Amino acid sequence: MSKIIGMKEKLIFVWKIPSFPVLFLCNFIFGLSTSFFAPFSSLFGIDEVGMSNIGFGIFMTIMALGGVVISTIIAKKSDSDISRKKILIYASLMGMIGYGCFAYVRDYYLLAIVAFLLLGSAAATVPQLWAYAREALQNADVPNEETPFIMNVFRMFFALSWTVGPALAAWFVVIIGFKGLFLFVAAGYAIGLFVILFFLKDVPKATYENKQNRVGITEYVKKPHIFGNLAAALLLAAATSIHTLNAPQFVTKVLGGTEFDVGLIFSVPPIFEVPMMIAVGVLATKLDNGLLIRIGFAIALVYFALFFFVTEPWQIYPLQILSAAQVSITSGIAISYFQNFIPHAQGTATTLYMNSTQIGNTVGFLLFGFLAEAMNYGNVIIIYILFAAVALFCLILFGRQKGVKLEAVEVRGEKV
């Protein structure tokens, strides 16, 4: 009972942090908008627009590159003199216009331009929102050891949107088609824009006593421990992307399952992710975050390996609990864990991590087509098992900063 009361007090404490109720709402809104498009992107590109498989792969690559390039530029600006609120206004406005264009445009080249410029700008919304949340914690003088738990609760709202988003989007596609779907996505960004404009207060940027001269992003990436973590994140994202595309084909064409089996398989993890994220957040306040991240990567490897041995669709259902566990760890505390490597550049740190996963997702998407063409769906699993194994190896071998212990960072002369 005391543990339940303690958890209730923690959640009330999080809710009372200045700006966080608004940030929770924005996180849910943008997560819901993302969950509307991502699961149905291939149906839109191939079936609605008429792209070939290769053309669709190139299109998704263009969109991903736009997100990486533009959000990286925005991240550098956000860590200097431009307020994050202004950047969030710009990014959400671009998302509203971009998805509005997707509702009507069906020309491949125009869509590619919109995807690179407008949706590439909109891709900065989530990392900037996370960076804003981290700075809000610092300005509220929240103890540093509580940050992983709070950021995991923050991540939970994004995951919560995915428990209802894909199913709701499927209903929209059936009833009102892709035009209606994208208008709803654009409306989501419009609501987010309204909330940011009128309810989100600008927070002063944290100043650091030990702040060094600003360095370029390449200088950060050159550091072995940062590069090791980026490489691990990219590889696991690629493995997860391949798995997400391969699993439905494997279930229906190799195991003899149905579309209902596929839907049930993908509905299980989000149910467990929400409570697991809270639990992981509590653990993150007591244990080394680096250890938890390595455990998460190890769980992902075990999950993929066990997936290879299933012979019936029902055997996958309990395995999805492992999937929820690894997502709760690797997605839940990964950003706050990575932000600790570059504490004086929250936007850059967040964007570096999210760009790595975005590139990994794109690599996985492109690889899946070639792999599925060259081998059966069962053997494709072996490839992403290897990806996950190499990711864990990178994390163990290169993922820690040699001879340096992460400590609380001095902000405005006080520890946070």
- pLDDT bucket at 210, cuts 50 / 70 / 90: very low
Domains plus CATH for the chain?
A: 19-205 (1.20.1250.20), 215-403 (1.20.1250.20)
Average pLDDT over residues 203-224: 59
CA dihedral 204, 201, 18, 199 (to 10 degrees): -170
- pLDDT bucket at 374, cuts 50 / 70 / 90: confident
How would you write the chain as a 3-class SS string?
A: CHHHHHHHHHHHHHHCCCCHHHHHHHHHHHHHHHHHHHHHHHHHHHHHCCCCHHHHHHHHHHHHHHHHHHHHHHHHHHCCCCCHHHHHHHHHHHHHHHHHHHHHCCCHHHHHHHHHHHHHHHCCHHHHHHHHHHHHHHHCCCCHHHHHHHHHHHHHHHHHHHHHHHHHHHHHHHHHHHHHHHHHHHHHHHHHHHHHHHHCCCCCCCCECCCCCCCCHHHHHCCHHHHHHHHHHHHHHHHHHHHHHHHHHHHHHHCCCCHHHHHHHHHHHHHHHHHHHHHHHHHHCCCCHHHHHHHHHHHHHHHHHHHHCCCCHHHHHHHHHHHHHHHHHHCCCHHHHHHCCCCCCHHHHHHHHHHHHHHHHHHHHHHHHHHHHHCCHHHHHHHHHHHHHHHHHHHHHHCCCCCCCCCCCEECCEEC
Looking at residue 78, its pLDDT comes to 72
Examine the pLDDT at 82 and tell me if it is beyond 70.
Answer: yes
Average pLDDT, the chain: 81
Average pLDDT over residues 272-298: 84
Looking at residue 238, its pLDDT comes to 94
Q: How far is CA 19 from the centre of its chain?
A: 21
Tokens 């590139």 correspond to 359
Examine the pLDDT at 88 and tell me if it is beyond 90.
Answer: yes
- pLDDT bucket at 276, cuts 50 / 70 / 90: confident
In tens, the pLDDT along 174-189 reads 789 899 999 999 999 9
When mean pLDDT is compared over 92-96, 146-150, 343-347, the highest value belongs to: 92-96
Looking at residue 227, its pLDDT comes to 84
CA–CA distance, 337 with 132 (Å, rounded to integer) = 16
Tokens 């290897």 correspond to 386
Examine the pLDDT at 263 and tell me if it is beyond 70.
Answer: no
Query: Per mean pLDDT, which range of 15-29, 75-89, 326-340, 392-406 is the poorest?
Result: 392-406
Contact (Cβ atoms closer than 8 angstroms) between residue 227 and residue 401: no
- Residue 59 or 409, more confident: 59
Looking at residue 37, its amino acid is F
Looking at residue 260, its pLDDT comes to 65
In tens, the pLDDT along 54-70 reads 787 788 888 888 888 88
CA–CA distance, 69 with 64 (Å, rounded to integer) = 9
Looking at residue 7, its pLDDT comes to 62
Examine the pLDDT at 283 and tell me if it is beyond 60.
Answer: yes
Query: Per mean pLDDT, which range of 45-54, 141-150, 235-244 is the poorest?
Result: 141-150
- Residue 291 or 219, more confident: 291
Examine the pLDDT at 407 and tell me if it is beyond 80.
Answer: no
Looking at residue 169, its pLDDT comes to 79
Average pLDDT over residues 212-236: 75
Examine the pLDDT at 248 and tell me if it is beyond 60.
Answer: yes
Looking at residue 143, its pLDDT comes to 76
| % of the chain with per-residue pLDDT over 70 | 84
Average pLDDT over residues 305-324: 92
Name residues whose C-beta falls within 8 Å of residue 192's C-beta, 6 or more positions apart in sequence: 26, 29, 30, 33, 92, 95, 125
Closest alpha carbon to 329 in 285, 384, 273, 286: 273
Closest alpha carbon to 363 in 181, 233, 200: 233
Tokens 């250890």 correspond to 291
Average pLDDT over residues 391-409: 65
pTM: 0.72
When mean pLDDT is compared over 7-21, 30-44, 55-69, 300-314, the highest value belongs to: 300-314
Examine the pLDDT at 217 and tell me if it is beyond 70.
Answer: no
* Residue 355 in tokens: 């760009």
Examine the pLDDT at 154 and tell me if it is beyond 90.
Answer: no
- pLDDT bucket at 191, cuts 50 / 70 / 90: very high
CA–CA distance, 290 with 294 (Å, rounded to integer) = 6
B/e letters for 212-237, b = 16+ CB within 10 Å, e = fewer, are eeeeebeebeeeeebebbbbbbbbbb
Examine the pLDDT at 272 and tell me if it is beyond 70.
Answer: yes
CA–CA distance, 139 with 203 (Å, rounded to integer) = 7
Looking at residue 205, its pLDDT comes to 62
CA dihedral 272, 273, 278, 280 (to 10 degrees): 110
Tokens 């259902």 correspond to 317
Examine the pLDDT at 3 and tell me if it is beyond 80.
Answer: no
- Residue 362 or 323, more confident: 323
Examine the pLDDT at 381 and tell me if it is beyond 50.
Answer: yes
- pLDDT bucket at 275, cuts 50 / 70 / 90: confident
Phi (first) and psi of residue 310, to 5 degrees: -70, 145
